[in-house]
């Protein structure tokens, strides 16, 4: 929604997102199939970070219609099983902990 509000105020935006199917409100969208917490890639991976940013800037400057979406065709270079675990916080977030407690009948 921040992208939508900033755009409505007259400043162009592009959103890099791991969930492009959910970012339906954003005027320009770059989809990346990366784990949460890593919109531009891995630490120290200058080439990948640069590729994501330049794609976003190309879309920012060149998209001709609202709702334009481009997906970056890069496979996350860490095995899925490891990446799936490692992006998650060490402790469940408070809302997730509360949901789990409710499911267990504690809430």
Partner 1 sequence: MRVDSFRFLPRSFRPLYEHVEAPEGDMPWAAFEPRLAGATVALLTSAGLHLEGVQPPFDLDRERREPTWGDPSWRSIPAGVSSGELGMCHLHVNSADVLADHNVALPTDRLAELVSEGVVGATAPQHVSVMGYQERSLDGWRTRTLPEVLDLLRGEAADGVVLAPV
73 binds partner 1, rule: CB under 8 A: yes
- Smallest gap from Cβ 74 to partner 1, in A, equals 9
Task: Report 19-38 residues binding partner 1 (CB under 8 A).
Answer: 19-22, 24-27, 31-38
**If binding is defined by CB under 8 A, does position 105 make contact with partner 1?**
no
What are the CA-CA distances from residue 25 to residues 2, 17, 47, 49, 79 (Å)?
9, 12, 29, 24, 31
77 binds partner 1 (CB under 8 A): no
- Closest residue by Cα to residue 74 from 15, 31, 21, 37: 31
Query: Does position 102 bind partner 1 by CB under 8 A?
Result: no
Is-contact 103 54, C-beta < 8 A? no
């Amino acid at each position: 929604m921040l992208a939508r509000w900033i755009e409505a105020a007259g400043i162009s935006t592009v959103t890099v997102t791991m969930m492009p199917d959910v970012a339906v409100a954003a005027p320009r969208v770059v989809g990346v199939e990366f784990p949460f917490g890593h919109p531009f890639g891995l630490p120290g991976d200058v080439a990948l970070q640069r590729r994501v940013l330049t794609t976003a800037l190309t879309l920012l400057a060149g998209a001709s219609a609202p709702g334009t979406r481009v997906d970056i065709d890069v496979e996350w270079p860490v095995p899925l099983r490891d990446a799936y675990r490692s992006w998650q916080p060490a402790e469940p977030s408070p809302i997730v902990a509360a949901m789990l407690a409710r499911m267990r009948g504690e809430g």
